[in-house]
Amino acid sequence: MTNESLSDFPLALEGDNMPMVSFRKVTKRYGDLVVLDSLDLDVAEGEMVTIIGPSGSGKTTVLRMLMTLETINDGVIYVDGKPLTHMPQGDRLVPASNRHLRQMRSNIGMCFQHFNLFPHMTALENCMEGPVHVLGLSKKEARERSEELLEMVGMADKRNQHPSRLSGGQQQRVAIARALAMRPKVMLFDEVTSALDPEVIGEVTNVIRRLVTEHNLTMLMVTHQMGFAKDISDRVCFFYGGRIEEQGTPDELFGNPQKERTQQFLSAVKEAT
Ligand SMILES: Nc1ncnc2c1ncn2[C@@H]1O[C@H](COP(=O)(O)OP(=O)(O)O)[C@@H](O)[C@H]1O
Ligand SMILES: [Mg+2]
């Protein structure tokens, strides 16, 4: 991207309606493949936005960009008013340094389909690791915070178990507590129930439900569970070809989809279940 086009983007976002997350004309390519196509997406503070859409439509890429696991080719992403992918230098934006990325990354927590807990650590140690080694909390503070969160996800009694002794649903709940222990402003969930046995899916969705109702966390969630998305989202975005094809409240999007692609996707998903 040229410096000229970067000068179109503000150095920071402010004002009463400042979104917690803002994608501005974000394009991501792998070679010739355009995965995100000039994407505009705002998520308000405290909002729960769900992303649905066919495989390969760019859902995971949106979350990976926010985790700064990849660079973008065009556009700017802002988190909590500050540029994430870029940083101000004088009166313009330049690509973010590693230091800037590290600082900004602490705003964001993520849970994936595969729980990737540290296998050699107990549930409690998994939760304490980041607060101690990244945030610099004392072990006492980190333990208190972690025990509270393990209690919240219903895993207090298993805190001294290693992941191999826990079920998939239990591991996923520990993974959520571990992410929350970093006190992120934004939580990302990518198909967190897809690898789980059906009978334990509810224990994980219930934790996410609690986060929505009891905490003012900003969340972006990718899911194939349309019923769950319908239940808990403030807004649902249907992705197609790296763009938002259609978005609305769950009632609008599921009850009265306007676009043909949305209708086709929703009826195909319905048939599959
Ligand atoms: N590291 C990569 N290199 C090349 N192509 C990739 C890479 N990561 C993702 N893609 C491609 O980007 C597209 C979108 O991927 P993704 O965001 O994972 O889709 P979704 O989560 O909606 O299924 C897919 O076509 C995928 O193959
Ligand atoms: Mg995906």
Taking only the tens place, the pLDDT of each residue in 169-210 is 999 999 999 999 999 999 999 999 988 888 889 999 999 999
Q: pLDDT tens for residues 142-153?
A: 999 999 999 999
**Centre of ligand 2 from the C-alpha of residue 70, in Å:** 15
Enumerate residues lining ligand 1, CB below 6 A.
30, 33, 35, 53, 55-61
Query: At a CB cut-off of 8 Å and minimum separation 6, what does 108 contact?
Result: 66, 67, 79, 184, 185, 186, 187, 188
pLDDT the model gives residue 4: 53
Query: At a CB cut-off of 8 Å and minimum separation 6, what does 256 contact?
Result: none
Average confidence score pLDDT of the chain: 94
Flag whether pLDDT at 166 surpasses 80: yes
Residue 264: count other Cβ atoms within 10 Å of its Cβ.
Answer: 13
Residue where the block lists tokens 């938002």: 244
* Structure tokens that stand for 99 in this block: 């230091």
Q: pLDDT tens for residues 18-58?
A: 999 999 999 999 999 999 999 999 999 999 999 999 999 99
pLDDT the model gives residue 270: 84
Residue where the block lists tokens 């001294």: 160
pLDDT the model gives residue 133: 94
For ligand 1, atom 3, the nearest C-alpha belongs to 30
Angle of helix 139-152 relative to helix 168-180, nearest 10 degrees, comes to 130
**Centre of ligand 1 from the C-alpha of residue 30, in Å:** 8
Contact 229, 52 (CB under 8 A): yes
Q: Quick one: DSSP state of residue 61?
A: H
pLDDT the model gives residue 27: 96
**Centre of ligand 1 from the C-alpha of residue 109, in Å:** 21
Neighbours of ion ligand 2 (CB under 5 A): 59-60
Residue where the block lists tokens 């008013």: 81
